[in-house]
């Protein structure tokens, strides 16, 4: 059994749901050395989250953004934490609802995502900046990482 960990950096993106599977794979060549295992991804931010969902139709990402904006609106009168802008408290709530981590099975050097699944960066701030994800690989390896 082998363990490997590194931080993946994602460039800044606008508010919304962004497919980042390719970004993760490009920065994690070590994945190809795992026969069977698990990839755990943890985003180190309180105003962005990670999810797995539709990887083909971009309308899904737009619909998710519109739904979460309706469900968790800006400028709600009961928000007390407002010093960092009208998008900040809703961003924290959305992160709690969606979550900050994912676990994906690995087999023969590939993520075992379904045919229509991809990894999303869910950016909840208007200008959240770059994002850091801690990637931890655990598994049986083909040869040394």
pLDDT tens for each residue of 33-60: 999 999 999 999 999 999 999 999 999 9
Domain that holds residue 136: 2-141
Over residues 114-131, the mean pLDDT reads: 97
Give me the mean pLDDT over the 88-111 stretch: 98
The pLDDT value recorded for residue 1 is 87
Output the pTM of the full model.
0.95
| CATH code of the domain covering residue 72 | 2.60.120.460
Residue 82 above 80 pLDDT? Answer: yes
Please count the structural domains in the chain.
1
pLDDT > 70? residue 145: no
Q: How confident is the model at residue 142 (pLDDT cuts 50, 70, 90)?
A: confident
Residue 109 phi, psi (nearest 5): 80, 10
DSSP summary character for residue 3: E
């Amino acid at each position: 059994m082998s363990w490997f960990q590194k931080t993946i950096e994602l460039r800044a993106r606008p508010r919304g749901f962004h497919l980042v599977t390719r970004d993760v794979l490009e920065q994690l060549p070590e994945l190809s050395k795992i026969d069977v295992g698990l990839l755990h991804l943890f985003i180190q931010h309180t105003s962005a989250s990670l999810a797995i969902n539709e990887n083909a139709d971009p309308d899904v990402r737009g619909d998710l953004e519109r739904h979460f904006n309706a469900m968790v609106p800006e400028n709600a009168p009961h928000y007390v934490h407002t010093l960092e802008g009208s998008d900040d408290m809703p961003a924290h709530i959305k992160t709690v609802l969606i979550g900050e981590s994912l676990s994906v099975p690995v087999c023969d050097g590939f993520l075992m995502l379904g045919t229509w699944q991809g990894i999303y960066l869910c950016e909840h701030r208007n200008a959240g900046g770059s994002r850091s994800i801690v990637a931890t690989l655990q598994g049986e390896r083909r040869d040394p990482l």
